[in-house]
């Protein structure tokens, strides 16, 4: 039942909604959400207010909140197509394809000329069908790893290939330098060498625990980077500003290497090659985007298929499942992509022993998923995540985890920050984000942290900000859902 409001209140609410629309157009999404909320509090009877707020939530990747606003929009007006549309986009973003298809089906029924909704519905239905087929196959036979079926020695490198070659399977600095230059020039490496890099790094990570120790020598430094999300030219700029990985300069990239940007393949091959070149000079944490669900939605799967093949994507998937879930720097700094668990009794040893390889995909619940998806909150305790997966944790949760495990602090990524980094929870929780002007729209700075040993303070942390650089304009590999995301 609608809540009665006067004409004056309705007019005022509409004016506030228009203010919110201006903020949204200027990419000030958090402020826009605040204004839409004001409009809703004055007049909760307008479905468009909820749908507009849902759209702003999707811009901030708060898909759980977008779904809830979609629920409210269709509750207020069951014939409001955009309410179903926004809810469907939120569900698709969380890989809930069957539920998303139901919403897009309603949109098509209400607005039969909506080509975008038809496209989304078609893709959802095909995805559901394919997943059901794959599940049926998996239940009837033991699925062999695609990684085990590739014989790189049988792949011929043509004489016309003009890049540096890998001899006897050994990655050299000359090869990595040449590969980066090829990528800058938008050229590929030969598929044989791409396969060799992925398969070698997978073999390496298969032998690693889920929590990896990182030590910094007295004459060395460690650089911790957050999400880079396929922004290859900004990624390379980090090395220009801060120096390339070496035996004396270690890097730790904290997840979300791929998706969103259009040069994810170039980033992940570079990171993998550096890991092989300098095993203790490059560390990689798995992020929530090094997963099948996210790769199907946000472009990495389509990018790899376009640049190489479906087989190569499958091998990437199998390799992502081997990536460590967290790192422990000098036994004092816990580095993880998302954050802390919904439980208070989680120890470092439990994290170290997670069977990440046996599990493969993290799913949407449990410790492994929480490490990849959780976010901090300013208030004490825990609360449901606006993302729709994982949960939020307060300063008391961080404090308890650090005390129980004898840690100084945690460093995590997973969230865009306007200044590139954010310190909270009394200095015990730091977010680092390394994709400046995220998705070419947000206007944020990127940042990284240089960590060096210091005899007095044990570890010294220097925060370095940087701006986005120019890059080739290419079409997004996830553009089929660009309208909803």
Tokens 């298969």 locate to 206
Please, are residues 472 and 235 in contact by the beta-carbon 8 Å criterion?
no
Can you read off the two tokens belonging to residue 305? 């298929």
Selecting among 57, 289, 337, 471, the annotated active-site residue is 289
At 427, list the tokens: 């200095």
Q: Please state, in angstroms and as integers, the Cα–Cα distance from residue 421 to each residue in 429, 433, 452, following that order.
A: 11, 6, 18
The verdict on whether 289 is a catalytic residue reads yes
Rounded to whole angstroms, the Cα distance separating 154 from 276 reads 22
> 374 to each of 28, 70, 76, 331, 365, how far by Cα in Å?
23, 23, 31, 22, 11
- Distance, in Å, from the CA atom of 382 to the CA atom of 113, rounded to the nearest integer, reads 44
- Rounded CA separation 290/205 (Å): 14
Catalytic residues: 289
């Amino acid at each position: 039942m609608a809540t009665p409001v006067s004409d004056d209140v309705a007019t005022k609410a509409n004016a506030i909604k228009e203010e919110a629309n201006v903020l949204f157009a200027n990419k000030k999404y958090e402020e826009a959400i605040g204004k839409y909320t004001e409009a809703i509090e004055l007049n909760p009877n307008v479905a468009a207010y909820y749908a507009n707020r849902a759209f702003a939530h999707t811009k901030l990747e708060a898909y759980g909140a977008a779904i809830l606003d979609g629920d409210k929009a269709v509750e207020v007006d069951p014939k409001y197509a955009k309410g179903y549309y926004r809810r469907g986009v939120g569900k698709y973003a969380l890989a809930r394809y069957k539920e998303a298809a139901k919403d897009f089906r309603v949109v098509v029924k209400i607005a039969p000329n909506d080509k975008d909704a038809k496209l989304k519905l078609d893709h959802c239905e095909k995805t559901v069908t394919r997943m059901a087929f794959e599940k049926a196959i998996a239940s009837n036979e033991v699925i062999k790893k695609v990684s085990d079926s590739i014989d790189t020695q049988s792949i011929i490198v043509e004489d016309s290939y003009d890049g540096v070659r890998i001899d006897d399977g050994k990655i050299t600095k000359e090869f990595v330098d040449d590969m980066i230059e090829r990528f800058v020039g938008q050229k590929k490496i030969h598929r044989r060498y791409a396969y060799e890099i992925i398969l070698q790094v997978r073999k390496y990570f298969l032998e690693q625990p889920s929590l990896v120790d990182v030590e910094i020598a007295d004459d060395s430094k460690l650089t911790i980077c957050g999400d880079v999300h396929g922004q290859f030219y900004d990624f390379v700029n980090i090395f220009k500003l801060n120096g390339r990985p070496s035996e004396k300069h270690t890097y730790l990239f904290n997840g979300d290497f791929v998706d969103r940007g259009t040069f994810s393949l170039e980033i992940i091959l570079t990171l993998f090659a550096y890991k092989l070149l300098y095993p203790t000079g490059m560390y990689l944490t798995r992020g929530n985007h090094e997963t099948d669900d996210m790769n199907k939605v946000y472009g990495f799967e389509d990018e790899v298929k376009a640049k190489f093949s479906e087989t190569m994507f499958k091998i990437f998937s199998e390799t992502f499942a081997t990536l460590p879930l967290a790192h422990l720097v000098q036994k004092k700094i816990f580095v993880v992509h998302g954050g802390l668990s919904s439980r208070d009794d989680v120890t470092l040893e439990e994290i170290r022993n997670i069977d990440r390889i046996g599990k493969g995909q993290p799913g949407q619940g449990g410790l492994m998923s929480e490490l990849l998806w959780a976010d901090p909150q300013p208030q004490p305790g825990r609360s449901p995540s606006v993302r729709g997966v994982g949960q939020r944790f307060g300063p008391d949760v961080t404090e308890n985890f650090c005390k129980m495990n004898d840690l100084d602090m945690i460093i995590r990524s997973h969230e865009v920050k306007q200044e590139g980094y954010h310190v909270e929870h009394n200095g015990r929780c730091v977010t680092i984000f390394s994709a400046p002007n995220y998705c070419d729209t947000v206007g944020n700075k990127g940042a990284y942290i240089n960590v060096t040993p210091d005899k007095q303070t044990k570890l010294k942390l220097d925060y370095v900000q940087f701006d986005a650089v120019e890059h080739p304009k290419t079409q997004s590999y996830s553009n089929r859902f660009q309208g909803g995301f």
